[in-house]
Structure 1
Amino acid sequence: MDVNDGRAGYRRSAGSPRGEARRRELLERVTDDLAVNGLVDFSLRRAARAAGATHKVLLYHFDSADDLLIQAIFKLRDRRIERALAVATAEPGRRSLADWVRAVWPVLVGEEARVLDQAIGLAMYDSDRYAELGRGASRQYLPTLLSICPEHWSERRRLEVAEMILATLRGFLVDARTSGDTAGIAAGFEALARALEREEAAAE
């Protein structure tokens, strides 16, 4: 993957409604390509082909190739979160935390999983250059996880449980990608569900 083939400072479209609309359109197309083809061999040239534009057009709307890649990954995460919320709220009534994680797990291991796992790996490989990919993941997922915790819990308790869910599910996703140990992951997943059931019961 080579995302270092663009110059920063070209983003002149910011603030213009027409420019922002064009930027969103380009980002959607690049995100679609990323979802299918992953991060391997990602480049500004490939992104331009996917967007039906030139690299100069992309650099008009994005600060750099890195900026475009990071924004596309954020968009892919947003799509995943939207699907997870749709599944979790498909049935009326409040789900328990355990029910919620069981419902959304198939979404988390769905079509975006490979690319988003690669993104976390990229953040670990080059933490200076791609630190935002790691920090951004927490900022994107935590509000949703906090929102599913019981309203009567303290802010601190909600944060603790949300962080536990995020870290544990992220670990399962990495394990699924690297080991393929489906039986082990399933066992660990059920242990997480039981821990969440105990947490809710203890807080009643």
Structure 2
Amino acid sequence: MAHKKGNRKTNVLFNQVLLSFILFLLAFQYPWIAVTVVSIVMAAFVLYIYLWSITDRLKNKRVLQSSMREIDNMSGGDFEHYLSVLFEDIGYEVELTPASGDYGADLLLKKDHNYIAVQAKRYSKTVGIASVQQVFSAKTYYSANEAWVVTNNTFTKNACDLAKKSGVKLVDREHLIRFMTESKIDTFAPTYTITLWNEE
């Protein structure tokens, strides 16, 4: 059996070499064939990139249409992906940090010279003080200007108190919905000004 597999690999390699040699001879004898082949390959590549970009945009559009009920049922990773698409849609440059060893930030946002460390918390309960502490550390590690905690839920009183003292901005369920609304506004319509919890 191993001998037969070895013969198959040898035959495939031989066929590839033979085909390459024939194509080389054709290109040498008939340059227009080479030009045609290269043109076809380039056109196919451009078409592939175009179709990929359309597919990617359609996927992101579907993600942006997620309801709060769907968000409440997302995994932590799916919620991070949702936020990356959401923030990118409303004008931020978005970078996802590694799944492990993220130093307290799940996303890094850039906009108007602001660099923001974001921790995403898709919780079925209120978010506690630990998230504020972690994202505050991430702000220092990534040399960010701001630190946010974004959740589909609300925050405990201790988390709110520490956020005020440390300058961490909290985006709770209500404010997340405002971001979601902004992403769905027509480009010619006026945009909302988002007021974060501890700026009120």
| Coarse TM-score class (shorter-chain normalised) | under 0.3
Structure with the higher fraction of residues in strand conformation:
2
- Structure with greater proportional helix content: 1
The TM-score normalised by the length of structure 1 is: 0.25
Q: Which has the higher contact order (CA 8 A, sep 6+)?
A: 1
Q: State the TM-score, normalized to the length of structure 2.
A: 0.25
Q: Which has the larger radius of gyration?
A: 2
